Amino acid sequence: MRFVIVTGMSGGGKSTALKMLEDAGFYCVDNLPVSLIEKFVELIATPDSEITKVALGLDVRAGHSFSEATSILQKQKEKGYEFEILFMDASDSALVKRYKETRRVHPLAAEGRVEDGIHEEREMLDGIRKQADFVIDTSNLLTRELKEELDRIFVKNEEYNSLMITLLSFGFKYGIPADADLVFDVRFLPNPYYIDELKAKTGNDKEVRDYVMQYPESEAFLDKLSDMLHFLIPNYIKEGKYQLVVAIGCTGGQHRSVTLANELYERMKNQGSYGIRLIHREQRERK
């Protein structure tokens, strides 16, 4: 039997993850009273049980009993009941934005600021996050991307990629992406914008791609950037980083940055040690 504990930050996507797991054939229970957890584990683990996949939602709505719940689960593990922990996370800024958009009240900030509730919750969940088998940061994930990640882990049983890399093309004239971890400026390359037949096209068009990549500096840049990322990625994973946004910018975010982001994506996809997606901010495209 596969038994998954789904927990994480309020607003991080736990309820959505439970619904998706239910669609994938998991028997899902959310916010079970702490006093019933031990009995629940024993019941689903009986040899004659018809249930083969179970997901149990657990969060701070349990109040001070949350720490008791984690202790109970640890005792069950010591008794031989195996389970995995899926931790749903998001950046503080993303969580604040979601609470403001939905006008919901944070469970730990009924009469205070959402930011204070988030900070208190992070402290409460620090222990179980460190024990998590899977951590999914939903700060920049689309719903379909979350579903694909859950399907890959819990349906297809593929290798879990703890680091999700976003390759993001953008235009400096519209501002540097606020969530970028690494920013690279490719405005040193000739600009296709000033070529009449290329002006209205983008880096997704072969003509623009060929124009940008004809310069040896483009290949040299990609070689050096690829080499640096191959060095950095294992160290980011070792230090527990789950999200890495690599932003490549040109003036308008249409030609050079798009071309080089596409080329870097082709070099890095299917590496296995990390997940990767491609977003062209100024074109609102993503892979």
Alpha carbon 150 to its chain centroid, in Å, reads 11
Q: What is the mean pLDDT of residues 214-225?
A: 97
pLDDT at residue 159 in the model: 64
Q: What is the mean pLDDT of residues 196-217?
A: 96
Nearest Cα residue to 163 out of 78, 275, 36: 275
Rounded percentage of the chain residues whose pLDDT exceeds 90 = 46
| Residues 6+ positions from 91 with CB-CB distance below 8 Å | 137, 139, 179
pLDDT at residue 64 in the model: 56
pLDDT at residue 63 in the model: 57
Distance CA(5)–CA(181), nearest Å, equals 30
Per residue in 81-114, pLDDT (tens digit) is: 888 999 999 988 889 888 888 777 787 776 778 8
pLDDT at residue 127 in the model: 83
- Buried b / exposed e over 154-170, threshold 16 CB at 10 Å, is bbeeeeebbbbbbbbbb
Per residue in 227-277, pLDDT (tens digit) is: 999 999 989 888 778 889 999 999 999 999 999 999 999 999 877 678 888
Is residue 186 scored above 90 in pLDDT?
yes
pLDDT tier at 157 (50, 70, 90 boundaries)? confident
Nearest Cα residue to 203 out of 285, 100, 141: 285
Rounded percentage of the chain residues whose pLDDT exceeds 70 = 95
Look over the chain and give the mean of its residue pLDDT values, rounded to a whole number. Answer: 87
The answer to which of 135-139, 180-184, 247-251 has the lowest mean pLDDT is 135-139
Complete domains list, the chain, with CATH: 2-155 (3.40.50.300), 164-286 (no CATH)
Beta bridge partners of 170: 249
pLDDT at residue 191 in the model: 96
Is residue 164 scored above 90 in pLDDT?
no
Q: What is the mean pLDDT of residues 128-151?
A: 87
Tokens in use for 285?
């495209």
Q: What is the mean pLDDT of residues 183-188?
A: 97
